[in-house]
Amino acid sequence: MTLTQPDVTVVIGAYEAMPYLVECLASVEAQTLDPTRIEVIAVDDGSQDGSGDCLEEFAARAPMAVTVIRQKNSGGPSGPRNVGLGKAAGRYVFFLDADDRLGAEALERMVAIADRNGTDVVLGKVEGVNRSAPKSMWRKTVDRTDVYSSNIKFTLSAQKLFRREFLERHGMRFDESLWTGEDALFTMEAYLRADGVSVVADYTCYYLVGRDDGKHVTKSGSYTLRFDSARALMGLLERMVPPGPKRDVLMVRPFLVTLLPQFGPVFLRNTEDERRTKFELAKPLMDAHWNEGVAQRLKVHERLRLYLVAVQRPDLLKDVVEFIKAKSEPKPVLKKGGTQLYLAYPHYRSRKAGVPDRVYLAEPREAKAYPGWRQDPAETFLRQATRKVRRRLRRLKKRLTPRPGGTAAA
């Protein structure tokens, strides 16, 4: 009998995953994709709660091929994922966390859109269960996009469908030296290298489950690990993307998602030693990667806090964070006939503080919420012209891009 290559290898790394693992495995068993087209590589990472036995029981009854690997604890999710990827035989690979679960049609839909469009990465809509989940990238199903022209940069978890040949060709593996953010590094590299990314937004493919015991990896660990994660992701972007607007667009992600939360309300609860350490850890990152291109893409309160980190002013930052925590509203200040709007957060126009006015200047997407602000006519014309050129270039690129299994559109 000739063995056919499975369409998907589902890699499950399990550590102390009970009882969540039961529903996780049930969601794999319930897939509408033919079980002969699925293989499962499950890695028990030294669990002591029966997770390994649960995986063995599943392997004995499951309608698809299941391989269970039991190993000593590796200390993080990267090791089990790399082991599973090394054993995978499927055309695609999907990394499923043992405390989460799949929608019944998830694999079938994701394989179909990848095959139809020849894309290397597929994002399936994620829904949070007892926790939040990213939302901005699920507005519509997209056959083909990239990391620059969409919001996919704000979902860098590993729970995506990846073309395995693509991963192998680039020698991609998870960084086992990182204790958090290893998935962000892997996924961002995949986005940058991919020949197209597809988005399934009309069906919930993945249920991101919040654990009652608080053991989810993103909730644990020292704050210093977040700086390690930011450093690694910023370094990747520096290596792979030339300086300029494209790098700035992507650099927003580590600044906004990884660094900025360290200088929010939690900063007020930190000891003086912790605050000083945070500023010390942030300084080389700000010196190397903070610039006007990144700053202009942020809201005023985000930009202001990161600016104060960049200039090493924890005293001023404390006032700003207290203002934000109290849910105070900054006074809007209109200038130049209403075409410029400044938000008067603490230290606005203070000579002693010396923060430049431009830090408080709201970009149009934020300013439009305030009565009295109006778009500068010259800027409106320039934006419209730029959008028109971009649309024409996209249409031309679509016409010239070869279709999977065929030639470019006529």
- Name the pLDDT band for 1 (thresholds 50, 70, 90): very low
Mean pLDDT computed over 182-195:
97
Euclidean distance between CA atoms 124 and 199, whole angstroms: 6
The predicted structure's pLDDT at residue 390 = 64
Q: Is 148 helix (H, G, I), strand (E, B) or coil?
A: coil
pLDDT over 90 (residue 403): no
pLDDT of residue 217: 46
Among candidate residues 45, 183, 228, 248, the one labeled active-site is: 183
| Rounded distance between C-alpha atoms, residue 45 and residue 78, angstroms | 11
The token pair at 133 is 């989940």
E strand residue ranges, 46-102: 65-71, 92-97, 101-102
Residue 406 has pLDDT above 60, yes or no: no
Residue 42: partners with Cβ closer than 8 Å, 6 or more residues away: 11, 12, 14, 55, 58, 59, 66, 67, 68, 69, 84
In the numeric block, which tokens belong to residue 204?
């919930």
Mean per-residue pLDDT for 386-409? 64
pLDDT band at 409 (very low <50, low <70, confident <90, very high): very low
Q: Sorting pLDDT into bands at 50, 70 and 90, what band is 271?
A: very high
Average pLDDT value for the chain: 92
How much is the pLDDT for 320?
Answer: 98
Whether residue 309 contacts residue 279, with contact meaning beta carbons closer than 8 Å, is answered with yes
Per the annotation, the verdict on 183 as an active-site residue is yes
Q: Taking 80 as the threshold, does the pLDDT of residue 392 lie above it?
A: no
pLDDT at 396 over 80: no
